[in-house]
Amino acid sequence: MALDPNDKKWLTQLFGTKIKFGELMSKHTSLRIGGPADVYVSPETQKQLFELTAWAAHRQHSYLIIGEGTNLLVKDKGIQAIVISLKKCLNEITKTDLGKNKYRVRAMAGATLRSLCTFAMNEGLSGMNFAIGIPGTIGGGIKMNAGTSKGTMEDILDTIDILLPDGKPQTLCKNQLNFSYRNLSLANTNHALHGKHPIILNGGFILNHTDDRELKKEAKLILKDRKRKQPIGWPSAGCFFKNPSPEQPAGLLIDQAGLKGIRKGDAEISAKHANFIINTGKASAEDILWLMKHVQEKIFKLFNIILEPEVKIVGD
Ligand SMILES: Cc1cc2nc3c(=O)[nH]c(=O)nc-3n(C[C@H](O)[C@H](O)[C@H](O)COP(=O)(O)OP(=O)(O)OC[C@H]3O[C@@H](n4cnc5c(N)ncnc54)[C@H](O)[C@@H]3O)c2cc1C
């Protein structure tokens, strides 16, 4: 439903100048691409977040929850919805001793994966190092089941708290979580209401006590390896396509197809890592989508493999 002047007044009363109407999403995505969102806001407290989502549900306004926008391609015409970023609220990270060298670390959805990895390292807790160097928030990481060949969120998650579309909070245990490769599906559970998905509020991670010096040493090596392999410094959304299988990573297939370095406008298949599409200047979502389609067609023709995007494509 389109916003009317009363809606805008209500939002401005709750958020003051922090509410942005027609905000370019290119300011909030790591690809630096994306047209205007009807509304963009980053609530600063959980109370504000709950108030906003309850109001939006009541007024039948759709909303999109994001973290740091590091896995998003927002289309050029933008998003006809309220975009709510959690990166300014829900930032706490705490730990509880479970005995026998085990700890449950609870990280709120708006905290960064970086801060959780640093917390775990400083506390001498093992299990998080696989996520060293992955940007984004805990909420985004859980939704995307973020990971590398060294591990995924699924491996260490014990419980999550979610906010249901009807405004009720709920705790889900590991055996209720429907994880798959780079996805946690909350949609086909009985928690989805009228096509709206629950909001992840936090995650509880089970980590084991260990020598923090070993963790720090390992973390340095992982970061060094990422720097060596990835086009760090260029706007991107990380790996663009899902790997069809561990033996056939998308990057290898794209490289073998001779597509490294090809461009459309300012969008480029990275010459350093073929599964990264980078924005070398003023690339549009159209440019990125053109490259995506081109790569998909070539890979299908050469290898009979359908490459699926890992990046979430949103907007109009
Ligand atoms: C340089 C670079 C390297 C990367 N390397 C990796 C890597 O090694 N491994 C990997 O897995 N990924 C990698 N990524 C991708 C990305 O960092 C991860 O997917 C990350 O977990 C996304 O977090 P985010 O907060 O930015 O989520 P966003 O991009 O903001 O959102 C991603 C999705 O999650 C949903 N979402 C976000 N927060 C919530 C919430 N609280 N509740 C419900 N839904 C939510 C959004 O609606 C969207 O569908 C990389 C990205 C970049 C730019």
173-214: per-residue pLDDT in tens?
999 999 999 999 886 444 444 446 799 999 999 999 999 999
Q: Is 244 within the bounds of a domain? A: no
Same domain, 12 and 130: no
The one-letter amino acid code at 137 reads: T
In this prediction, residue 229 carries a pLDDT of 95
Same domain, 33 and 71: yes
In this prediction, residue 167 carries a pLDDT of 86
**Pairing state between β 63-66 and 79-85:** parallel
Q: For helices 212-229 and 113-122, give the axis angle rounded to 10 degrees.
A: 150
Which residue, of 199, 229, 259, is where some domain finishes?
A: 229
In this prediction, residue 196 carries a pLDDT of 62
Same domain, 179 and 218: yes
Q: Is 243 within the bounds of a domain? A: no
Catalytic residue among 239, 263, 268, 286: 239
**Known catalytic residue at 117:** no
Q: Which domain holds residue 157?
A: 93-229
Residue 34's domain is classified under what CATH number? 3.30.43.10
Token digits of residue 99: 């005995």
Residue 274's domain is classified under what CATH number? 3.90.78.10
Q: What is the distance in A from the centroid of ligand 1 to the CA of 140?
A: 4
Which residue, of 195, 229, 263, is where some domain finishes?
A: 229
Q: How many domains does the structure of the chain reveal?
A: 3
Q: Is 234 within the bounds of a domain? A: no
Residue 200: Cβ-neighbour burial (10 angstroms; 0-12, 13-18, 19+): buried
Pairwise CA distance, residues 312 & 316, whole Å: 13
215 within 8 A of 124, measured Cβ to Cβ: yes
Same domain, 214 and 101: yes
Pairwise CA distance, residues 266 & 167, whole Å: 42
66 Cβ inside 6 Å of ligand 1? yes
The segments of the chain whose pLDDT lies below 50 read 188-195
Q: Quote the pTM value.
A: 0.96
The one-letter amino acid code at 272 reads: K
Phi, psi torsion values for 43, nearest 5 degrees: -55, 150
Pairwise CA distance, residues 68 & 235, whole Å: 13
Token digits of residue 268: 């480029």
Nearest of 108, 107, 110 to residue 137 by alpha carbon: 110
Same domain, 288 and 307: yes
81 within 8 A of 52, measured Cβ to Cβ: no
203 Cβ inside 6 Å of ligand 1? no
Query: Tens digit of pLDDT for each residue in 8-22?
Result: 999 999 999 999 999
284 Cβ inside 6 Å of ligand 1? no
Strand partners, 23: 37
Same domain, 203 and 297: no
Q: Is 240 within the bounds of a domain? A: no
Same domain, 58 and 120: no
Q: Is 33 within the bounds of a domain? A: yes
Same domain, 53 and 112: no
Same domain, 148 and 185: yes
Q: Is 10 within the bounds of a domain? A: yes
Q: Is 18 within the bounds of a domain? A: yes
In this prediction, residue 195 carries a pLDDT of 47
Count CB-CB contacts under 10 A for residue 236. Answer: 24
In this prediction, residue 194 carries a pLDDT of 44
Pairwise CA distance, residues 203 & 184, whole Å: 13
Same domain, 114 and 171: yes
Q: Is 180 within the bounds of a domain? A: yes
**Position in ligand 1 atom list of the atom nearest CA 141:** 21
In this prediction, residue 187 carries a pLDDT of 65
Question: Which helix H or strand E contains 293, and what residues bound it?
Answer: helix 285-303
Atom 6, ligand 1: which residue's CA is nearest? Answer: 134
**Pairing state between β 312-314 and 72-74:** parallel
